[in-house]
């Protein structure tokens, strides 16, 4: 039996809903980065160009919106890995993770304050699971030291998060670059060092 064909109006509604949802996530990133995660949701809706009813329909609570940002970040990290050469995916995914932390204070506050501890553990588990295959490929290719464990990736992110958001909310790119250089050099195998990677300027906004 053939599946029913959607009417054009129904397809348009779903398309509009997807655009509205994407617009609200993009607006939330901007608003939360500028004002923190306690910024009014009305401001997010206005920035996205949608009404309060639309905002509430998609994201009835602040935590739902923050979780959507987190999931979107996850998708970005996975997409970077999919586009990279297999042996280089780990480093590039780590760079993308740090770039997100650097530009998006709301993402960090979500991890620290807005979700229960068990949910944080689940997010960390999923992140480690995502990063484990590219880590193994990088180790096999000799690009990452062999004793680095998958759970160490979460530790690296935690360490770099402090450099991404120094006390007083100073946004110092040199601090982030230096910390990243040190970490990337530390996870390389012993031998001739390669030129260190830096946070892509196109990702820092």
Q: Which fold has domain 66-203?
A: Tetracycline Repressor; domain 2 (1.10.357)
Percent of the chain at pLDDT > 90 equals 37
CATH 1.10.357: which residues of the chain? 66-203
Q: Indicate the burial class of 200 (C-beta count within 10 angstroms; 0-12, 13-18, 19 or more).
A: exposed
50 compared with 192, residue with greater pLDDT: 50
pLDDT tens-place string over residues 50-74:
999 999 999 998 888 888 888 888 9
In this prediction, residue 92 has a pLDDT band, given cuts at 50, 70 and 90, of very high
Query: Two tokens at 161?
Result: 């998060």
Looking at 90-94, 97-101, 129-133, 184-188, which range is the least confident one? 97-101
Q: b/e for 34-71, b at 16 or more Cβ within 10 A?
A: eeebebebebbbebbebeeebbeebbeebeebbbbbbe
**Confidence class for position 133, pLDDT limits 50, 70, 90:** very high
Angle separating helix axes 117-140 and 62-83, nearest 10 degrees: 0
How much is the mean pLDDT over the chain? 80
Give the per-residue pLDDT at 2: 46
Question: What is the dotted CATH code of the domain comprising 11-60?
Answer: 1.10.10
In the chain, CATH 1.10.10 covers: 11-60
Q: Which residue has the higher pLDDT, 104 or 121?
A: 121
């Amino acid at each position: 039996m053939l599946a029913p064909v959607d009417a054009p109006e129904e397809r348009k509604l779903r398309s509009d809903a997807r655009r509205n949802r994407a617009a609200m996530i993009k607006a939330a990133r901007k608003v939360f980065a500028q004002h923190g995660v306690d910024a009014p949701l009305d401001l997010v809706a206005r920035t996205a160009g949608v009404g309060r009813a639309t905002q509430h329909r998609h994201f009835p609570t602040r935590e739902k919106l923050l979780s959507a940002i987190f999931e979107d970040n996850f998708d970005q990290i996975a997409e970077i890995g999919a586009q990279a050469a297999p042996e280089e995916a780990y480093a590039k995914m780590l760079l993308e993770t740090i770039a997100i932390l650097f530009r998006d204070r709301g993402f960090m506050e979500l991890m620290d304050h807005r979700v229960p501890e068990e949910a944080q553990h689940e997010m960390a588990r999923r992140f480690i699971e995502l990063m484990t295959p590219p880590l193994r490929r990088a180790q096999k290719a000799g690009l990452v030291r062999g004793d680095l464990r998958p759970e160490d990736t979460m530790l690296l992110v935690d360490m770099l998060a402090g450099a991404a958001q120094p006390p007083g909310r100073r946004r110092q790119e040199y601090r982030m670059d230096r910390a990243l250089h040190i970490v990337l050099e530390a996870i390389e195998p012993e031998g001739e060092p390669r030129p260190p990677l830096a946070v892509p300027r196109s990702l820092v906004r």
